């Protein structure tokens, strides 16, 4: 018989080997696992809706099919209405780049003239013989054209890779369907593999993770959708050009805590300055959207807020941004929460559970 | 197909559906449930097998589930704080359940549960049962009422035991006082 001490070390070695294998699998098979991770997230987001339908004693598969049909309808309507508007606005933006660059050129030229007139020596030090307006205008024109030229290439690049299209548009809904339908059985099968001594700890861990992030991801997506919609409506009302682009970007960036809502307002303000609209109107729209979000949306949609200090959320989001970009910023908070829950449960278990 | 794979993984560990249904139906907590409601409960249970001497849970661990013995025997054991031998408080046999307070909160277990021979049990976890109760509130009421009755019965039993112990302590105190008085009177004479 193995001693308790020996068993503990064997258990610890098992956990280390498992983590190493899992880490290696994620590293080497990341691209293949990505659609499965996406499917898991889709299932996690949709599961509260399916559970709600199940309370009405409807069969689970029927609810999932219903949700899929509604989502498909939403995507089709979105494509019909949103995509043409976005394409039109991007096209218009591209055409107007020349105009905006000229505006900046004239404006900065004026500033340079004013400085030259008042402080000729300072002007010589600052600008030399170069024309500030020309330089700035040229830089902005080329940068903006480059960004806008890349948008269709990015979309085309995404769709031209047949494997990724199949992975994401076929595999994700397919896998998500089975995770939603048989999620409880899948969970039970995994728990069945857990050794007896870790059984109660595993049950406790799963429940705590669910409590910590359950509803967060789905809530965040719903909140961002509503914020984006309100921003588009508000910006249309004040008559901002490119309201759909700015509102959509504001909705998407809203997925990132703290950093996101500010980005929407900044982009809106830049568009307002360039198109000659009053910046105050744009800021008022984003201010009202934020008030509505804080008072009405967050308490009801997010419900269980994550148990993290705002400073910690801010730091985690920034670190995730520098490590893994936009996607990492979006999932940074729930992932950090899961890690915190796992560490605190394991620490507690080393004290309480005799493992 | 995938669903079939998972079902077969679980099926290997599971006793026949009829015997589990009978076991659940015979348990006070689930006796008020209809057949289809018992089926809902069966879908959330975990089947576990323990060797003789293997602990199901330890005293002071946070409780998270209740257990029903399908086959075998489980001893409920309390540690002797003075370092003596562990005390067996009760033995749980086939068709009986234990650890039901784990369905209410994560408070520490008051005793350990140890299989005294090879034992098959089913576990019902609190999060799973709560989720099932949210999905089916009628089922929730039917489970919560007997659970509350069980706790009330235990509380009443504990109160009676406490009152008995208090009375016997008072009686022995009175007896001791009487003896001391008699001794004092004898010495005075």
Among B110, B106, B148, residue whose Cα is nearest residue B126:
B106
Does residue A63 fall inside a structural domain? no
How is chain B split among helix, strand and coil, in percent rounded to 5? 50, 20, 25
What mean pLDDT value characterizes chain B?
A: 84
**Each residue of B138-148: b (16+ CB within 10 Å) or e?**
ebeebbeebbe
Residue B183 has pLDDT above 70, yes or no: yes
Strands (E), B116-162: 119-125
Residue A78 has pLDDT above 50, yes or no: yes
What is the nearest CA distance from B138 to chain A, expressed in angstroms? 11
Whole-angstrom CA distances from A26 to A20, A31, A32, A37, A284 are 10, 9, 9, 10, 45
What is the nearest CA distance from B144 to chain A, expressed in angstroms? 18
Ramachandran angles phi, psi of B71, nearest 5°: -155, 135
Does residue A111 fall inside a structural domain? yes
Closest CB to A192 among B46, B135, B136: B46
Does residue A270 fall inside a structural domain? yes
From the candidates B127, B134, B137, which should be mutated to test the interface with A, based on the most A CB atoms within 10 A? B127
Cβ of A196 within 8 Å of Cβ of B10? The answer is no
pTM score: 0.67
Based on the domain organization, do A98 and A153 belong to the same domain? yes
Q: Return all residues near A220 (Cβ < 8 A) that are at least 6 apart.
A: A255, A302, A330
Based on the domain organization, do A245 and A111 belong to the same domain? no
Whole-angstrom CA distances from A19 to A13, A25, A40, A195, A229 are 10, 10, 20, 16, 42
**Chain A nearest-CA residue for B129:** A207
Based on the domain organization, do A187 and A156 belong to the same domain? no
The residue from A278, A296, A314 where one domain ends is: A296
Based on the domain organization, do A205 and A316 belong to the same domain? yes
What is the nearest CA distance from B178 to chain A, expressed in angstroms? 48
Question: What Rg do the C-alpha atoms of chain A give, in angstroms?
Answer: 26
Does residue A279 fall inside a structural domain? yes
Residue A294 has pLDDT above 60, yes or no: yes
From the candidates A204, A206, A344, which should be mutated to test the interface with B, based on the most B CB atoms within 10 A? A204
Whole-angstrom CA distances from A348 to A343, B57, B107 are 9, 15, 13
Closest CB to B62 among A197, A204, A354: A204
Based on the domain organization, do A201 and A84 belong to the same domain? no
CB contacts, 8 Å: A184 with chain B: 43-44, 128
Q: Parallel, antiparallel, or unpaired for β B55-57 and B46-50?
A: unpaired
Query: Counting Cβ atoms within 10 Å, is residue A350 exposed (0-12), middle (13-18) or buried (19+)?
Result: exposed
Based on the domain organization, do A230 and A283 belong to the same domain? yes
Closest CB to B13 among A184, A192, A199: A192
Q: Which of the four pLDDT bands, split at 50, 70 and 90, describes residue A345?
A: confident
* Contact status of B64 with chain A (Cβ, < 8 Å): yes
From the candidates A188, A346, A349, which should be mutated to test the interface with B, based on the most B CB atoms within 10 A? A188
Specify the DSSP class assigned to residue B109.
Answer: P
pLDDT digits (tens, 9 = 90+) for B96-142: 889 888 888 888 888 999 999 999 999 999 988 888 888 888 888 88
Residue A49 has pLDDT above 90, yes or no: no
Cβ of A189 within 8 Å of Cβ of B6? The answer is yes
Ramachandran angles phi, psi of B50, nearest 5°: -120, 145
What is the nearest CA distance from B147 to chain A, expressed in angstroms? 21
Query: Mean per-residue pLDDT for A67-93?
Result: 81
Q: Return all residues near A213 (Cβ < 8 A) that are at least 6 apart.
A: A306, A334, A337, A338
Pick the range with the lowest mean pLDDT from A106-110, B9-13, B86-90, B175-179: B9-13
Higher pLDDT, A150 or B158: B158
Q: Which of the four pLDDT bands, split at 50, 70 and 90, describes residue A342?
A: confident
Spatial distance between the Cα atoms of A93 and A95, rounded to a whole number of angstroms: 5
Based on the domain organization, do A205 and A312 belong to the same domain? yes
Distance, CA of B49 to chain centre? 18
Based on the domain organization, do A210 and A238 belong to the same domain? no
Whole-angstrom CA distances from B11 to A5, A105, A113 are 34, 75, 84
Q: Which of the four pLDDT bands, split at 50, 70 and 90, describes residue A244?
A: confident
The DSSP annotation for A324-349 comes to HHHHHHHHHHHHHHHHHHHHHHHHHH
Cβ of A210 within 8 Å of Cβ of B127? The answer is yes
Does residue A317 fall inside a structural domain? yes
Neighbours of B39 (CB within 10 A): 14
What is the nearest CA distance from B127 to chain A, expressed in angstroms? 6
CB contacts, 8 Å: B48 with chain A: 196, 199
The residue from A280, A296, A312 where one domain ends is: A296
CB contacts, 8 Å: B86 with chain A: none
Q: Which of the four pLDDT bands, split at 50, 70 and 90, describes residue B12?
A: very low
CB contacts, 8 Å: A185 with chain B: 3, 6-7, 10
Residue A119 has pLDDT above 70, yes or no: yes
CB contacts, 8 Å: B104 with chain A: none
Strands (E), A58-143: none
Based on the domain organization, do A118 and A262 belong to the same domain? no
> Number of Cβ pairs closer than 8 Å across A and B?
74
The residue from A273, A296, A319 where one domain ends is: A296
* Contact status of B138 with chain A (Cβ, < 8 Å): no
Closest CB to A54 among B44, B46, B135: B135
Based on the domain organization, do A325 and A201 belong to the same domain? yes
**Chain A nearest-CA residue for B132:** A55
Cβ of A189 within 8 Å of Cβ of B9? The answer is yes
Closest CB to B6 among A54, A186, A196: A186
Query: Mean per-residue pLDDT for A155-183?
Result: 76
CB contacts, 8 Å: B140 with chain A: none
Distance, CA of A226 to chain centre? 14
Spatial distance between the Cα atoms of B74 and B116, rounded to a whole number of angstroms: 5
Based on the domain organization, do A93 and A239 belong to the same domain? no
ipTM: 0.76
Does residue A205 fall inside a structural domain? yes
- Name the domain count of chain A: 4
Closest CB to A200 among B10, B60, B64: B64
Does residue A35 fall inside a structural domain? yes
Based on the domain organization, do A202 and A332 belong to the same domain? yes
Does residue A13 fall inside a structural domain? yes
* Contact status of B48 with chain A (Cβ, < 8 Å): yes
pLDDT digits (tens, 9 = 90+) for B53-72: 999 998 888 888 999 998 89
Q: Go through the domains of chain B in sequence order and give each one's CATH number.
A: 2-188 (2.60.120.10)
The boundaries of the domain holding residue A7 are: 1-58+169-193
Residue B135 has, within 13 A of its CA and on its CB side, a CA count of: 21
From the candidates A55, A58, A192, which should be mutated to test the interface with B, based on the most B CB atoms within 10 A? A192
**Each residue of A172-210: b (16+ CB within 10 Å) or e?**
beebbbbbbbbbebbbbbebbeeeebbbbbbbbbbbbbe
């Amino acid at each position: 018989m193995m001693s308790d001490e020996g068993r503990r070390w064997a258990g610890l070695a098992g956990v280390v080997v498992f983590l190493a294998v899992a880490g290696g699998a994620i590293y080497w098979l990341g691209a293949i696992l990505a659609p499965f991770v996406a499917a898991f997230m889709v299932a996690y987001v949709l599961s509260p809706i399916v559970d709600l339908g199940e309370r009405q004693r409807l069969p689970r598969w029927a609810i999932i099919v219903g949700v899929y049909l509604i989502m498909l309808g939403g995507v089709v309507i979105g494509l019909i209405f949103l995509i043409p508007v976005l394409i039109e606005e991007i096209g218009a933006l591209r055409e107007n780049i020349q105009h905006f660059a000229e505006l900046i050129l004239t404006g900065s030229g004026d500033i340079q003239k004013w400085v030259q007139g008042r402080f000729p020596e300072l002007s010589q030090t600052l600008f030399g013989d170069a024309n500030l307006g020309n330089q700035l205008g040229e830089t902005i024109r080329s940068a903006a054209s480059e960004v806008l030229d890349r948008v269709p290439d990015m979309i085309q690049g995404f769709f031209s890779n047949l494997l990724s299209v199949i992975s994401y548009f076929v595999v994700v809904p397919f896998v998500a369907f089975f995770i939603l339908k048989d999620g409880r059985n899948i969970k039970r099968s995994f728990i069945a593999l857990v050794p007896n001594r870790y059984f109660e700890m595993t049950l406790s861990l799963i429940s705590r993770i669910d409590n910590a992030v359950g509803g967060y991801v789905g809530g965040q997506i719903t909140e961002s959708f509503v914020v984006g919609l309100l921003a588009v409506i508000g910006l249309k009302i004040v008559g901002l050009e490119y309201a759909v682009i700015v509102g959509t970007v504001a909705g998407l960036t809203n997925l990132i805590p703290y950093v996101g809502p500010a980005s929407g307002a900044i982009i809106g303000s830049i568009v307002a300055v360039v198109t000659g609209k009053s910046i105050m109107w744009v800021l008022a729209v984003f201010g009202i959207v934020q008030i509505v979000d804080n008072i009405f949306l967050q308490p009801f949609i997010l419900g269980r807020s994550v148990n993290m200090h705002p400073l910690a959320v801010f730091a985690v989001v920034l670190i995730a941004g520098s490590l893994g970009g936009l996607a990492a910023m979006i999932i940074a908070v729930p992932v950090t929460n899961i890690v915190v829950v796992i560490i605190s449960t394991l620490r507690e278990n080393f004290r309480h559970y005799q493992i | 197909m995938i669903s079939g794979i998972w079902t077969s993984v679980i099926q290997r560990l599971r006793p026949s559906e009829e015997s589990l249904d009978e076991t659940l139906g015979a348990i006070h907590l689930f006796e008020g449930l209809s057949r289809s409601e018992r089926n809902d409960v069966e879908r959330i249970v975990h089947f576990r097998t323990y060797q003789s001497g293997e602990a199901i849970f330890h005293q002071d661990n946070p409780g998270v589930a209740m257990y029903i013995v399908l086959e075998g025997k489980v001893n409920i054991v309390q540690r002797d704080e003075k370092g003596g031998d562990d005390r067996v408080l009760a033995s749980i046999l086939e068709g009986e359940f234990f650890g039901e307070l784990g369905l209410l909160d994560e408070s520490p277990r008051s005793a350990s549960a140890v299989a005294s021979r090879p034992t098959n049990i089913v576990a019902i976890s609190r999060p799973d049962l709560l989720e099932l109760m949210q999905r089916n509130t009628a089922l929730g009421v039917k489970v919560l009422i007997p659970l509350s009755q069980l706790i009330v019965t235990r509380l009443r039993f504990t109160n009676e035991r406490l009152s008995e112990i208090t009375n016997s302590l008072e009686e022995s105190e009175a007896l001791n006082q009487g003896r001391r008085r008699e001794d004092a009177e004898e010495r005075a004479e």
